[in-house]
Amino acid sequence: MKRLFWITAFLLVLSTSLIFTQDRLAVATASAQGSTPTDDEVNAIAKQLYCPVCENTPLDVCPTQACKEWREEIRGMLADGKSEAEIKQHFVDYYGARVLAEPPRTGFNWLVYVVPPVAIAAGIFVLFRALRAWSQASTPEAGTDEVDASSPPDDEYIARMEEELKKRN
Amino acid sequence: MLADFGFGVLIVTFLVALYSVIAAILGERKQSAQMVESARRAQLLTFPLLSLTAGVLIYLLVNNQFDVSFVYEVTSRSMPTYLKITAWWGGQAGSLLFWAWLLSAFTSAVTLRKWERDREFLPWVIVVSSITLAFFLSMNIFFENPFARFYQIAGGVDAYTFKPAGGVLVTPQDGNGLNPLLRHPGMIIHPPMLYLGFVSFVIPFAFAIAALVTGRTDDRWTRLTRRWTLWAWLFLSLGLVLGGRWAYDVLGWGGYWGWDPVEIAAFMPWLAGTAFLHSVMIQEHKGLLKHWNMILIMLTYALVIFGTFLTRSGVLSSVHAFAQSAIGPMFFGFIGATFITSVALLIWRWPELQSETEMKSMLSREAFFLLNNLLFLSVLVVCFWGVIFPLVSELFTGQKVTVGPPFYERANGPLFGAMMALMGIAPLSAWGKSTITTLGRAIWKPTIPALFVPVLAYLAGYKQPVALVGFFLVAFVIFVTLYDTFRSARARQRAQKEDFFTALARLAGRNRRRYGGYIIHISMMLMAIGILGIEAFQTETQGTIAQGQALQLDGYTIQYNEVASWDDPGAGVNYTRAVVDVSKDGKYLGQLYPRIDFYFDSQQTMTIPGLRSTLQDDLYILLVDWQPVSAGGATFKVYHNPLVNWLWVGALIFITGMLFAAWPDKDPSLRPVRASKHAVEPSAAD
């Protein structure tokens, strides 16, 4: 049982950390140099960017004039044959890391990715310790009051108890 | 004049609220029932007083009193009367007053209940709720006065509470008008629902504090507030769902939830509240986790205030905006003070809150409830950290960053999955003790049919692996819930010699919270279908096309038919409305009308989608751009959102489940649930 728990906990933490650090699948956006990139190609990149003015509105759906111009800038860069990474870097260079949908994984920003899994792992640990302490404290009578989960749960018992209590009240 | 009267009543209400706090404390100290009664009456008085204040404000809003700065900010002559009324919560000052008004309504309702058996709670419930009320009123009085008026002095025109020396009253011809985004029916109902949820969580918190102060540490406080908590949770959930619907209908980004900090601000108290709602059942059934429930309700209350603080203080746009805003630091101080006080009280009473029994098995229902709590709090940690990290980063490094949807989706996705699995397993476990064998014996039957669902989904074309796991979990939870209900009804049928449907009805009627909860679980799964649909299968395309040309997306053909633009001077809006013909796989389905509305008073545009909604999918068309000079072409953005309608279907069933669980019966607070010694043992006040 104990081993089962630790394996589960380990896998959970591992998968959470992997999930936190893994990059989203890049959307194919490359277009042949020279041809006008389509709106969909532009939006695929714009979706991942945030302008510094319209907070928390992705660039692909932001209706402001400034954002429209940014989208045209992306179109121009795609037409010049720039890659998705280059285009994103261009905006980061000009406006700072806040244009990205997530903080870049460097320096102080690592905290955003590390704190939740650590806190969750701590929660799992505390919960497990508490459960173990409780179940150990009650092991002597374990097995004697086992309830068969395939039988109906305690509704009937509660209902009878309530009837009794109503009578007494 | 009327504005001054409104402000005067506001000040009187504030003083009355303060009086009720002091009288309640003194009354309790001196054991003077008269004093406590006086505090109770003072608290009851806050509601009519605040209603009068609100009435004055509504009168000013409806009658275009633009010399009042709040009226100027949120209304204009062209707005219909109902919008002028709802503009009450369309701006900062008004929404704080609205919060206070709702709170006083709720606290009045609670003080009107019969208190015979719980007299000792009364003064402390008054203290907690009146302090909260006084805090919100003080925000209105000292920082965000909805009755401030425009005066011209040497330095220019500004809003003042009192006439400045030499000031001349200025009355603008027309107001700014309500933000067009807030003129949608969803936005009219959404804030009241959310605020109702927020304020009603104050009640269980007040009882928890009362229980701590008085040392009455049995589960009386949880039983008294059970229905309050359910109603609070219903309102908060409805607020969130309506907010989602509003976003879907007016924000024009093809979705209902964008992990925006303002959304998360409302989501966090919901998470803590949901954890509380579950864990409180363990206390009632088993007498366990008394400390934990206290912590959860304190956390919920703190998050309610924190949510209001996040959205009202400007802290989200920048830590500097927060420092400059008048109410930001006050809110921060209030959250800190109430949280520290409650934690100190909890520590003081810690030894008296020991559990009455022991947790016996890791597979018992109480253990699963704890795991549920862990998952809800994990999502809460992710959300909280995601929301505050940009502020932390700005504070320590000076660098602003965005924590957007990819972060939350990646982190919360697996947690939501685990929650769904738990929702399936937990109802089959027994209180006290289950083993792998007993649990396995109960689970295999609903698991088998659930396995067919992803297979069917795959054959129907839904091939994304994560979504298939999700569909399995949805089916698993629904089948387990139905199976467990069926099993219990059959048992009752045999025992009571009733027919099956009578047995089912009586069983559900006797255990309304449980079966209401089951309906809610099923509704959540239906909502999950919608979420999985949009998350895994949403597609989109955008293009500029000439009249007669068409865009293609997932078998749909969207043909641009015509566009017209006209002014509606009465409403102060310019409409640009396109007509598109929609067909699917060659079959003509009808016309849709995506629009752009331009509001003259606020100089804002709104993009209203043309929407075709079925249980299978939504076709969501936006008119992105149309220039009169090049009338031949228009830019459309088209989203194909499979299954998203299940979200709203689920929401309707959710309301049914909540009403079933929370509807008052004869004497709910006195109905014992737990078959333990405390349920029959008369307590001090009984």
pLDDT tens-place string over residues A96-147: 888 998 998 888 999 999 999 999 999 999 888 888 877 776 655 444 344 4
Which of A66-75, B213-222, B519-528 bottoms out in mean pLDDT, i.e. has the lowest?
Answer: B213-222
CB atoms A61 and B672 under 8 Å: no
The pLDDT value recorded for residue A160 is 57
Q: Looking at the partner chain, which of A40, A50, A156 has a beta carbon nearest the beta carbon of B404?
A: A50
A122 reaches B (C-beta below 8 A): no
Residue B686 to residue B684: CA distance in whole angstroms: 6
A169 in B contact zone (CB under 8 Å): yes
CA of residue B263 relative to chain centroid, distance = 9
Chain A residues with CB-CB distance to B319 below 8 A: none
Long-range contacts of A87-94 (CB under 8 A, 24+ apart): A87/A45, A88/A45, A88/A48, A88/A49, A91/A49
Residue B571 has pLDDT above 50, yes or no: yes
Of the partner residues B261, B381, B511, the one whose CB lies closest to the CB of residue A155: B511
What are B227-284's pLDDT values in tens digits? Answer: 888 889 999 999 999 888 888 988 888 888 888 888 899 999 999 999 999 888 877 7
Residue A161 has pLDDT above 70, yes or no: no
* Nearest residue, CB atoms, B260 vs list A56, A112, A123: A56
* DSSP result, B544-588: EEETT-EEEETTEEEEEEEEEEEEETTTTEEEEEEEEEEEETTEE
**pLDDT: is B91 or A13 the higher one?**
B91
Eight-state DSSP code of residue B606: E
Distance from CA of A127 to the nearest CA of B (A): 8
Q: What does DSSP say about strands B617-625 and B633-642: parallel, antiparallel, or unpaired?
A: antiparallel
Three-state DSSP at B68 gives strand
The span from the CA of A77 to the CA of A40, in Å, is 14
> pLDDT-based confidence at B510, cuts 50/70/90?
confident
Domain of B108, in residue numbers: 1-146
Task: Specify burial of residue B595 (Cβ count, 10 A radius: 0-12, 13-18, 19+).
Answer: middle
Nearest to B436 by CA among B525, B517, B518, B367: B367
Q: Are B574 and B597 in contact (CB under 8 A)?
A: yes
Residue B498: pLDDT band with limits 50, 70, 90? confident
In this model, does residue B359 exceed pLDDT 80?
no
Determine the pLDDT at residue B683.
Answer: 34
pLDDT at A28 over 50: no
Tell me, yes or no, whether B61 lies in a domain.
yes
Question: Which of B295, B378, B436 to probe the A interface (max A CBs under 10 A)?
Answer: B378
Q: Which of B371, B492, B607 is closest, CB to CB, to A63?
A: B607
Q: What residue ranges do the domains of chain A occupy?
A: 24-103
Min CA distance, A152 vs chain B (Å)? 5
Nearest CA in chain B to A128: B362
Mean pLDDT, all residues of chain B = 87
Q: Cα A109 to the chain's mean position, in Å?
A: 16
Which of the four pLDDT bands, split at 50, 70 and 90, describes residue A152? very low
In whole angstroms, give the CA distance from residue A109 to residue B263: 23
pLDDT for A167 equals 54
Output the CA angle B167-B69-B604, nearest 5 degrees.
Answer: 135
Cβ-defined contact of B635 to A115 (cutoff 8 Å)? no
Question: Who among A40, A52, A149 is closest to B434 (CB)?
Answer: A149
CA end-to-end distance (rounded Å), chain B:
52
Q: Cα separation of B461 and B96, whole Å? A: 49
Asked whether residue B56 is domain-assigned, the answer is yes
Which pLDDT belongs to residue B340?
93
State the pLDDT at residue B317: 67
Question: Hey, is the C-beta of A23 within 8 angstroms of any chain B C-beta?
Answer: no
Give A-chain residues touching B672 at CB under 8 angstroms. 161-162, 165
Domain boundary among B130, B146, B162: B146
Nearest CA in chain A to B680: A165
Q: How many residues does the structure list for chain B?
A: 686
- What distances in angstroms separate CA B195 from CA B76, B232, B236, B251, B300, one per listed residue? 25, 9, 8, 21, 14
Which residue in chain B has the smallest CA separation from A24?
A: B406
Cα separation, B457 vs B464, in Å, equals 10
Count of domains forming chain B: 2
CATH of A24-103, one of 1.10.3720.10, 1.20.1070.10, 1.10.8.640, 1.10.357.10: 1.10.8.640
**Helix-, strand-, coil-residue percentages of chain B, each rounded to 5:** 65, 15, 20
Mean pLDDT, residues B300-322 taken together: 79
- Are the Cβ atoms of A155 and B405 closer than 8 angstroms? no
Please list every residue in chain B whose beta carbon sits closer than 8 Å to the beta carbon of residue A99: 402
Statement: residue A4 has pLDDT above 60: no
- The CA distance from A1 to the nearest CA of chain B, in Å, is 9
Quick one: closest CA in A to B411, which residue? A20
Residue B607 resides in a domain: yes
* Nearest residue in B to A123, CA atom: B374
Chain-chain contact of B358 with A154 (C-beta, under 8 angstroms): no
Cβ pairs bridging A and B (under 8 Å)? 204
Cβ distance of A158 and B675 shorter than 8 Å: yes
Q: Say if the Cβ atoms of A142 and B382 lie within 8 Å.
A: no
Which of A 76-95 lie inside 8 A of B, CB atoms? none
CA B175 → CA B98, B145, B160, B469, B663, distances in Å? 21, 18, 17, 53, 43
Of B393, B495, B607, the CB nearest to A108: B393
The per-residue pLDDT for B455 is 94
Instruction: Supply the pLDDT for residue B680.
Output: 34
CA distances from B429 to B368, B370, B432, B472, B486 (A): 8, 13, 9, 20, 16
Q: What percent of chain A has pLDDT over 90?
A: 24
Whether B542 sits inside 8 A of A40 (CB atoms) is: yes
Residue in B344, B333, B336, B179 with CA at minimum distance from that of residue B250: B179
Q: A126 burial class (0-12, 13-18, 19+ CB within 10 angstroms)?
A: exposed
Q: Give the DSSP H or E segment for B375.
A: helix B365-397
Lowest mean pLDDT among B156-165, B436-445, B578-587, B641-650: B436-445
With beta carbons under 8 A apart, name residues in chain B contacting A22. 410
For residue B667, the chain A residue with the least C-alpha distance is: A166
Residue A160 neighbours by CB distance under 10 Å: 12
- Which residue stretches of B398-464 are H helix? 405-425, 436-459
The 10 Å CB-count burial string (b at 16+, else e) for B204-232 is bbbbbbbbbbbebbbbbbbbbbbbbbbbb
Distance from the B272 Cα atom to the nearest Cα atom in chain A, whole angstroms: 15
Contact check, Cβ <8 Å, A135/B540: no
CA distance A61 to chain B (A): 6
Looking at B102, B130, B146, which one is the last position of a domain? B146
Q: Which residue has the tokens 């936006």?
A: B622
What pLDDT, in 10s, does the model give residues B455-477?
A: 999 998 888 899 999 999 999 99
| pLDDT score recorded for residue A74 | 93
Average pLDDT, chain A: 72
How far does Cα B396 stand from its chain's mean position? 32
B92-111 and B33-62 helices, crossing angle to 10° = 140
Whole-model pTM?
Answer: 0.86
Q: What is the pLDDT of residue B444?
A: 87
Q: How confident is the model at residue B632 (pLDDT cuts 50, 70, 90)?
A: low
pLDDT at B681 over 50: no
Residue A33 near chain B (CB below 8 Å): no
Mutate to test the interface with A, among B402, B415, B480 (most CBs of A within 10 A): B402
**Is B680 contained in some domain?**
no
Long-range contacts of A126-132 (CB under 8 A, 24+ apart): A127/B370, A127/B371, A127/B374, A128/A5, A128/A9, A130/B359, A130/B370, A131/B359, A131/B362, A131/B367, A131/B370, A132/A2, A132/B362
Is residue B358 in some structural domain? no
Torsion of CA B275, B337, B385, A7, to 10 degrees: -50
Confidence band of A31 (pLDDT split at 50, 70, 90):
very low
Number of H helices, E strands in chain B: 22, 13
Residue A32 has pLDDT above 60, yes or no: no
Residues of B in contact with A151 (CB under 8 A): 491
Which of B291, B327, B139 minimizes the C-alpha distance to B217?
B291
Query: Per DSSP, what are the bridge partners of residue B577?
Result: B564, B595
- Predicted pLDDT of residue A5: 52
Mind telling me how many Å the CA of B134 is from chain A's nearest CA?
Answer: 33
Three-state secondary structure call for residue B246? helix
- Mean pLDDT throughout A78-93? 91
In chain B, what percentage of residues exceed pLDDT 90? 48
Q: Could you give the CA distance from residue B15 to residue B137 in angstroms, rounded to a whole number?
A: 10
Query: Cβ of B434 and A96 within 8 Å?
Result: no
Q: Does the pLDDT value for residue B490 go beyond 50?
A: yes
Average pLDDT over residues B591-604: 88
CB–CB of A1 and B362 under 8 A? yes
Task: Give chain B positions within 8 Å (CB) of A50.
Answer: 402, 404
| Domain-embedded: residue B564 | yes
> Tokens 């009465």 map to which residue?
B570
Residue B360 is which amino acid? K
Rounded Cα distance between B159 and A154, Å, is 64
Instruction: For residue A95, give how far its alpha carbon lies from the nearest alpha carbon of chain B (Å).
Output: 10
Q: How many CB atoms lie within 10 A of CB B430?
A: 24
What would the DSSP string read from start to end of A85-128? Answer: HHHHHHHHHHH-GGGBSS--SSGGGHHHHHHHHHHHHHHHHHHH
Contacts of B360 in chain A (CB under 8 A): 134-135, 138, 142, 145
CB contact under 8 A, A152 and B487: yes
| Closest Cα in chain B to A160 | B675
- What is the ipTM score, two decimals? 0.82
Report the SS3 class of residue B383: helix
Amino acid in position B338: T
